[in-house]
Amino acid sequence: MYTRIDCTSGLPFARVNAMQRNKVVFDEANALIAALASPVRDAMRRDFHALPPYSGATPHFAMRSLYGNLAHH
């Protein structure tokens, strides 16, 4: 689980108390494509459809993360 971090931004967007519930990371686009076509994902979708209906919003935001060694400048 992640919570909002306070930061300074010049972007014209309101700050919200959103939470990231999960994070999935792939080394390349082809790995994502393979995961989306996998039997594991099919099983997860079956589990999802067996749950009680949910009527709230579930926005998804694909992002690209850049990592580096933050300990050394």
The rounded Cα 23 to chain-centroid distance in angstroms is 4
Indicate the pTM of the whole model.
0.45
Q: How is residue 10 annotated by DSSP?
A: -
3-state SS assignment for residue 37: coil
DSSP string, 56-71: S-------------TT
27-33 long-range CB contacts below 8 Å, 24 or more apart?
none
pLDDT tens series, the chain, 73 aa: 455 566 667 778 777 666 666 677 888 889 999 999 999 999 999 998 998 988 887 776 666 666 655 555 4
Name the residue ranges covered by the structural domains of the chain: 18-47
